[in-house]
Chain A
Amino acid sequence: MNYPVWELAMGGGALIAVVSILHVFVSHFAVGGGLWLVVTESVARRRRDAQLLDVVRAHSRFFLLLTLVFGAITGVGIWFTIALVSPSAVSALIHAYLWGWAIEWTFFVIEIAAAMVYWYGWDRLDRRVHLVVGWIYFVAAWASLAVINGIVTFMLTPGEWLENRSFWAGFFNPTYFPSLTARTALALGQAGLFALITATALPRTTARAWCVRWNAAWVLAALLLGSAAGIWYRGVFPGWSDAVLGAIPILPLVARWLVVGVAAMILLALWPLLLPARWNRLGAALLATAGLLVFAAGEWTREAGRKPYTIHGYLYSTGLRVEQEEHLVADGVAAHTKWLDPRARPAENPAAFGGELYRNHCACCHTRDGYNGLRPWLAHWDDATVRNLLPRLQHVRGLMPAWHGTPAETEALAAHLRTMRSAAAAMPTAPAAAAREAWRVSCGLCHTTDGFRPLRESLSGLSRAELSALLDTLHELTDAMPPYAAAPAQRQRLLDQLVALAAAPAVAPVGAAPGGDAR
């Protein structure tokens, strides 16, 4: 819209996901690990345990090299990446939360300096001062987390900010505290997890056994706190109903794996707690992998819940502000899009012009063949289907902003999509599979059988003839639905599926697997 769009084959969302997962995994360790160091150092000093003190010191070097370099720079990296992929969002945040970031920076300064003084001070500072520096580090690191958490949760649930534009209303928004609790838990868990990993390299002494147990306790405590925070979060997160979950096709599956993953981690963490002497690299690798997956699934769920906004209710992922939408309705899309190549003239080369529209209004969420790729879908559709679908994109599961192109712009976009399509897709040969596929690429775009906008009940008992008649009148039921325009063979396959659906009673309880049937 206002800014150029970075054309990225892998998709901007995927790049953000990669950088932020790497960063968040380390940056929470930077908070929790700080607490671990200073608390464990105190224990070692109090017990005059030289072995344990050596463990702490060796761990602090690992901590320094991981958090100060990789953690801090990938943090700058997220900022760079988001500004490249969603410049409008960063611009809005810089205006609304500049002072939040500036305040966070003061804590960051303390944090970096304290980490260095703590490391270089091992042999130089007296014990009391060394511990004080450790505490300064942890408090500053946690405070910077608490500030960033306000800005990050603001994007997802801006709450009353939408009405009053108040800094603090947006900062202490509805998900602020559950999210801060979850992040604190993550920080503690990662402190224990990373220490469990480095512990596998220690010589088998009593200090090692004690350490393994101690770290396992951190992980378990964090998992319990984190689970509680997750339940709390779910309660206050407005988008988190089964219906909305079903709107995002893959989400219910991910959400379920999240629960399974947490349970697996709790079981795995009992191993070092109960059998510390047997703790080994395999266990560490399993626990770390489970941790990374759980964490990625959680992050992924949250990011999916953001769609179609970058700042919920204020700014769409395309860089369009919600309040600007009426202008697009009135004037069409191109009039409000700055970065259109002047060489792509709509009258002479509609497909090229459509490509410009695509880059500005679709490419932020879609790629051709990669992340959220459109080509496999386009292979199933003829021109009429595409043309009918475009003005109704906001109703497709996946949560897209509406497309407000004029008829000529819609034509141009469709012409561009036609150039993206290669050959027509081959349908599966097995009749049941072909029928499912015919459903997936038509009704399944917007409905599930039993969860989100469920159809089973409405269709129940209808005959093939009645269903066929229904297909011809869909667009009369609601404007939201495109006329059904597929070729005759495809229509028969879809009818096979609908007949089966109309005949079969519901099998799964509503909401249990809203996405499963359509995939």
Chain B
Amino acid sequence: MNPTPIVPTPDALPLPAPAALLHVLLLLTFTLHLVAMNALVGGAVLALWLRGRAGAVRGAADVAGRIGKALPVCVAATVTLGVAPLLFLQALHGRFFFAASVIMAWPWFSLIPLLIVAYYGAYLESFRGARLAGWRAPLLAATAAIFALIALIQVNNATLLLRPDRWPTLYFGNPRGANWNLGDPQVVPRWLHALSGAVAIGGLLLALWGKARRGSDPEGARLMRRVGLGALGWLTMANVAVGLWFLLALERDVLRRFMGGSGHATGLLALGVVSALALIALAARARRRDQASLTPVTVVAALTMIVMVLTRDFARQTQLAEHVGSLPVAVATQSVNIALFALLLVAAIAIVWWMVRRLARAGR
């Protein structure tokens, strides 16, 4: 059966802001969500790895515990920064997103209980880790596995919403919502790409954290830097391979654009590959030389992430284009409310900044 795709009609109400503004906000907040997610997933994986090396490497258990302590804050940041892109995604691509979510309703819904369990897992590690003795590593592993599963659910939804052609078969085959999008060849490489990227960036964040702790704990700081930069280099290398797999799994039409069909897409991809290669070299260099500055590697990592977010966005625009239709979307800009939001956002950032500064200054 290859039925015609069913695409919901746009909402009858106008968009409350120009699509371009919503798009910028989506990309911006999604990038922040990714950074937090990387700190979380990367942190959990690296803590686990360090715990496994505790017998062999001096100070490894200590650093693992330190990361574990910070995990709940990472979850809070990931979730809080996930809410905003979800809003803008629903406003911009709601008709694709809602349909895809309903088709995979059970996996999507299960994200919530899974998140609650894993969040408590993170708190258990943070508050009670030392008292868990032999249970500590298995608990951390289970928590990390749940976060990886949540990422898989996210990837399934992010890819299913691109494929109205797959919807009728999946939905009418199982209207009870027990569907995954695993038949789409993109899913597995995309997930692995996200996970190894997360551990790489998590490694960079660990190295930066180490730098901030150089004064108070030089030995731990050195370990954080070494392990973090190692993760950054090795997993970025792995991601070049996974990325190639991911690229080849894209739909023909999209792939063609990345392979010269569109200057914009090809340029983005080339920039991404070059910056990833530069990242590998810079990470290796900084790891060899303890005194080398982390600024170049951080800048290139940020650049790589931004390029990846834009590449992903370009692929989405291309895939949805044939279903979006050419009718203009009605817009009724709520200028006053946008201004109010901007004002409150600035105030929120200032207040959070002030509180965190007070806490950081107060020290232990």
Name A residues whose Cβ lies closer than 8 Å to a Cβ of B.
2-9, 19, 65, 68-70, 72-74, 76-77, 79-81, 83-84, 87, 90-92, 94-96, 98-103, 105-110, 112-114, 116-117, 120-121, 124-126, 129, 133, 136, 165, 167, 321, 323, 338-339, 341-343, 359
**1/0 contact string of B68-95 vs chain A (CB within 8 Å):** 0000110010011011101100110011
Q: Which of B191-199, B222-230, B345-353 contacts A (4 or more CB under 8 A)?
A: B345-353
Chain A residues in 8 Å Cβ range of B176: 6-9
Complex Cα gap A323–B12 (Å): 10
- Are B109 and A102 interface neighbours, CB within 8 A? no
- In chain B, residues 97-148, which have Cβ atoms closer than 8 Å to a Cβ of chain A? 98-99, 101-103, 105, 108-109, 111-112, 115-116, 119-120, 123
- Are B90 and A80 interface neighbours, CB within 8 A? no
Task: Give B110's nearest chain A residue, CB to CB.
Answer: A80
Q: Which of B269-277, B284-292, B332-340 contacts A (4 or more CB under 8 A)?
A: B332-340
Q: Identify 20 new A-B residue pairs, CB closer than 8 A, beyond the known A109-B352, A116-B73.
A: A2-B9, A2-B95, A3-B99, A73-B115, A76-B82, A87-B101, A91-B90, A94-B11, A94-B94, A95-B11, A95-B16, A99-B334, A103-B344, A106-B344, A117-B355, A124-B359, A167-B334, A342-B172, A343-B172, A359-B175
- Are A103 and B340 interface neighbours, CB within 8 A? yes
Given contacts A65-B123, A84-B102, A136-B355, contact A102 B8 (CB under 8 A): no
Chain A residues in 8 Å Cβ range of B98: 3, 83, 87, 90-91
Contact of B90 among A6, A83, A96 (CB under 8 A): A83
The smallest beta-carbon distance between A494 and chain B, in angstroms, is 38
Complex Cα gap A90–B97 (Å): 11
B209 at the interface (CB under 8 A from A): no
- Point out which of B79, B175, B351, B356 has the most chain A C-beta atoms below 10 A from its C-beta: B175
Task: Give B345's nearest chain A residue, CB to CB.
Answer: A106
Chain A residues in 8 Å Cβ range of B189: none
B6 at the interface (CB under 8 A from A): yes
- Are A113 and B102 interface neighbours, CB within 8 A? no
Chain B residues in 8 Å Cβ range of A126: 362
| 6 cross-chain CB contacts under 8 A | A84-B108, A99-B334, A102-B84, A103-B341, A113-B356, A114-B355
Chain B residues in 8 Å Cβ range of A113: 351-352, 355-356
The smallest beta-carbon distance between A94 and chain B, in angstroms, is 5
- Are A81 and B351 interface neighbours, CB within 8 A? no
Complex Cα gap A102–B25 (Å): 11
Contact of B359 among A77, A125, A342, A359 (CB under 8 A): A125
- Are B91 and A98 interface neighbours, CB within 8 A? yes
Given contacts A69-B116, A103-B341, contact A3 B83 (CB under 8 A): no
Task: Give A12's nearest chain B residue, CB to CB.
Answer: B105
Chain B residues in 8 Å Cβ range of A5: 102, 175
Chain A residues in 8 Å Cβ range of B362: 121, 124-126
Task: Give B94's nearest chain A residue, CB to CB.
Answer: A91
Complex Cα gap A255–B12 (Å): 36
Chain A residues in 8 Å Cβ range of B120: 65, 69
- Are B344 and A77 interface neighbours, CB within 8 A? no
Given contacts A80-B112, A98-B91, A117-B359, contact A3 B13 (CB under 8 A): no
Complex Cα gap A121–B357 (Å): 11
Contact of A92 among B3, B13, B108 (CB under 8 A): B13
Summarize A's interface: helix, strand, loop or mixed: helix
Chain B residues in 8 Å Cβ range of A102: 84, 87, 341
Contact of A95 among B79, B91, B340, B363 (CB under 8 A): B91
Complex Cα gap A136–B79 (Å): 21
Chain A residues in 8 Å Cβ range of B252: none
Chain A residues in 8 Å Cβ range of B332: 165
- Are B112 and A76 interface neighbours, CB within 8 A? yes
The smallest beta-carbon distance between A85 and chain B, in angstroms, is 9
- Are B76 and A68 interface neighbours, CB within 8 A? yes
Name B residues whose Cβ lies closer than 8 Å to a Cβ of A.
1, 3, 6, 8-9, 11-17, 72-73, 76, 79-80, 82-84, 86-87, 90-91, 94-95, 98-99, 101-103, 105, 108-109, 111-112, 115-116, 119-120, 123, 167-168, 171-172, 175-177, 332, 334, 337-338, 340-341, 344-345, 347-348, 351-352, 355-356, 358-359, 362-364
- Are A73 and B79 interface neighbours, CB within 8 A? yes
Chain A residues in 8 Å Cβ range of B3: 342
Task: Give A101's nearest chain B residue, CB to CB.
Answer: B87
- Point out which of B17, B73, B105, B108 has the most chain A C-beta atoms below 10 A from its C-beta: B105
Contact of B111 among A68, A80, A83, A109 (CB under 8 A): A80
- Point out which of A91, A101, A114, A125 has the most chain B C-beta atoms below 10 A from its C-beta: A91
The smallest beta-carbon distance between B118 and chain A, in angstroms, is 10
- Are B363 and A94 interface neighbours, CB within 8 A? no
- Are A116 and B76 interface neighbours, CB within 8 A? yes
Chain A residues in 8 Å Cβ range of B9: 2
Contact of B8 among A3, A95, A124 (CB under 8 A): A3
The smallest beta-carbon distance between B98 and chain A, in angstroms, is 4
Complex Cα gap A337–B284 (Å): 58
Task: Give A99's nearest chain B residue, CB to CB.
Answer: B337
- Are A117 and B90 interface neighbours, CB within 8 A? no
Contact of A110 among B115, B172, B351 (CB under 8 A): B351
- Are A109 and B359 interface neighbours, CB within 8 A? no
Given contacts A84-B109, A112-B80, A339-B6, contact A4 B351 (CB under 8 A): no
Chain B residues in 8 Å Cβ range of A342: 3, 168, 172
- Are B175 and A7 interface neighbours, CB within 8 A? yes
Complex Cα gap A125–B288 (Å): 39
Given contacts A74-B116, A94-B94, contact A6 B177 (CB under 8 A): yes
Chain B residues in 8 Å Cβ range of A117: 355-356, 358-359
Chain A residues in 8 Å Cβ range of B111: 80
Given contacts A3-B98, A112-B76, contact A76 B177 (CB under 8 A): no
Chain A residues in 8 Å Cβ range of B344: 103, 106-107
Contact of A94 among B90, B101, B108, B341 (CB under 8 A): B90
Contact of B338 among A9, A99, A120 (CB under 8 A): A99
